[in-house]
Structure 1
Amino acid sequence: MTEDALLRRVHGLWVGLAVVTGAFPAGGDVVIVHSARSRLCPPGWAGIVRLADGALVTGPDEPRTGLLRRALAGMPVDDLVRADAVAARLPVVDVLGPAVLAYLPADRFRPVAAQVTTLPTGHDDIRALMAAAGPDDSAESGLADVDSPVFVLRDGPDVVAAAGYERWPESTAHVCVLTAPDHRGRELARRTASAAVGHALDSGLLPQWRARLVGEASRKVARALGFTELGAQLSVRLDAVDRAASGQR
């Protein structure tokens, strides 16, 4: 798949998730629209997605969308997914991200051989891994949301690494990976993720990898498998517009 074809496919995914019409912005353009049903962010939040040199921003209601348009006008595209830069212009009360968005066409996949086994979602051994990893890492991994088989590696009876994917629109597989804290640094994530990615590609899906911008370990795993970073995502919860207008933060 060419870079342009890959980007067009990913553009279609995020336009659909934003629940808006038209093409994804490009060429340095930024489009800010009201979309109460946007899936770029949690309900009631503002969502920002940058892909290549364009960005799409959704606001949860007309007043906040207007605020976004006024505050972000003329802002460089790359700065739109920097939490500090956005917070300097807007009354931000909570943030998710930023996260890097990476994708893997079949012709770029670099698989890793591994003796993994599979478990169904919700299996007791997967719940034990999530408990060992803690609520924050487990929630960030997204492993509880997968609807594929879960590919696991064990140390004795215990599952110490697991990966699967959640089916997203536009035939996208959102890859989810989790490793037990005391087993990290041993390439277990790469091995389980390789199995999940291979399964997704065999199913005709485009794997997507989302990692915190500062999460170098996760990004390293993705790059090793062949993923290409195409953009980034940031979600912000804004203060009430009437308080923002009066200068209260």
Structure 2
Amino acid sequence: MDSHHHDIIRLAWSRRLGLQDSALTPFGRYIEVRPSETSVTFVQLGGASVLIGPEEAVASAAQHTDDELSRRGFLAEKLQGRGHGPVILSFAGDIGTTLDRHDPLISHDLDHVLALEALCAPDDVLAAELTRKRSWFTLLSDNEPADTAPPLSGAAYLEWEGVLADVGVLTAPAARRQGNGQVVARLVTNDAFDEGMIPQWRTNAENTTARRLASRLGYEEWGVFVTVDIST
């Protein structure tokens, strides 16, 4: 990625968080107090970061460095709340040409997405959020006729602020470690580029398999997202 990609990503996230366009300026921290919030949000993109939440909680979090706030459990422990993340934010800057599968059988129908989700654990389905996205690419088994072929893996993206394509990937348990996820992830990433967007890949920091896949596809880890629920 180059500086132009970085500027677009920071702008999109600023708008996604309901901030002014210039909030995520390089090498600075932006703090926004929202008294009615029941959670604290921390986002770091390159050298820029933002803290959002009620005044007392934000003031407490602001005493710590970005590296500390990015650590698993650190902010939740300091605020005595329920933490989510860190989620690693990765972005692709160039289209890929290698598919690693000759003439894959691909479906763009929601029915195949639903069939794939039925094969997977609820947590995996929730993380991928395929049915909340669009532009589905579902890889079907080529060992059976197309109308009865079971789904192996699926990917899709949701447009963010008109410039980011938030990608999700889901693979059936029996079809993992066979390169199936890489096929659909490559197709959906290239489709996002074709539509003029920057592909974004979000994954839990401990999901090393997903992080390795993103890296193989050319995604660069460039940010962290953490939220802490302090409503209880």
TM bracket, shorter-chain basis = 0.7 to 0.9
Q: Which amino acid aligns with 2:140?
A: L
In structure 2, what is the equivalent of residue 243 of structure 1?
none
Matches within 5 A, 1:211-226: 211-226=203-218
In structure 2, what is the equivalent of residue 230 of structure 1?
222
Shift of 1:77: 0.6
Query: Could you give the per-residue CA deviations for residues 149-182 of structure 1, whole angstroms, max 9, x where no partner exists?
Result: 3332326421011111111114211111000112
Is residue 2:186 matched to residue 1:198? no
In structure 2, what is the equivalent of residue 24 of structure 1?
24
Query: Could you give the per-residue CA deviations for residues 15-56 of structure 1, whole angstroms, max 9, x where no partner exists?
Result: 1011111330432x322213589xxxxx84322111112211
- Check conservation: 2:159, 2:166, Cα contact below 8 A: yes
TM-score normalised by structure 1 residue count: 0.82
Shift of 1:239: 3.5
Matches within 5 A, 1:35-50: 35=34, 44-50=38-44
| Alignment match of 1:72 (pick from 61, 67, 73) | 61
Give runs of ≥4 in structure 1 deviating > 4 Å.
none
- Aligned partner of residue 185 in structure 1, secondary structure: coil
In structure 1, what is the equivalent of residue 124 of structure 2?
137
TM-score normalised by structure 2 residue count: 0.88
In structure 1, what is the equivalent of residue 8 of structure 2?
9
In structure 2, what is the equivalent of residue 56 of structure 1?
50
- Check conservation: 2:52, 2:58, Cα contact below 8 A: no
Q: Which amino acid aligns with 1:174?
A: D
Q: Distance in 2 between matches of 1:31 and 1:88?
A: 22
- Check conservation: 1:116, 1:192, Cα contact below 8 A: no
- Check conservation: 2:89, 2:201, Cα contact below 8 A: yes
1:116–1:46 distance in 2 versus 1, CA, 3 Å: farther
Shift of 1:112: 1.9
Q: Which amino acid aligns with 2:114?
A: R
Q: Which amino acid aligns with 1:46?
A: V
In structure 2, what is the equivalent of residue 98 of structure 1?
86
In structure 1, what is the equivalent of residue 77 of structure 2?
88
1:197–1:220 distance in 2 versus 1, CA, 3 Å: same
1:44–1:88 distance in 2 versus 1, CA, 3 Å: closer
Shift of 1:121: 5.0
- Aligned partner of residue 183 in structure 2, secondary structure: helix
- Aligned partner of residue 6 in structure 1, secondary structure: helix
Q: Which amino acid aligns with 2:110?
A: G
- Check conservation: 1:121, 1:148, Cα contact below 8 A: no
Q: Distance in 2 between matches of 1:134 and 1:36?
A: 37
Q: Distance in 2 between matches of 1:130 and 1:78?
A: 35
Larger CA deviation: 155-164 vs 193-202: 155-164
- Check conservation: 2:86, 2:226, Cα contact below 8 A: yes
In structure 2, what is the equivalent of residue 161 of structure 1?
153
Shift of 1:110: 5.2
- Aligned partner of residue 15 in structure 2, secondary structure: helix
In structure 1, what is the equivalent of residue 115 of structure 2?
128
**Structure with more of its chain in helix, by fraction:** 1
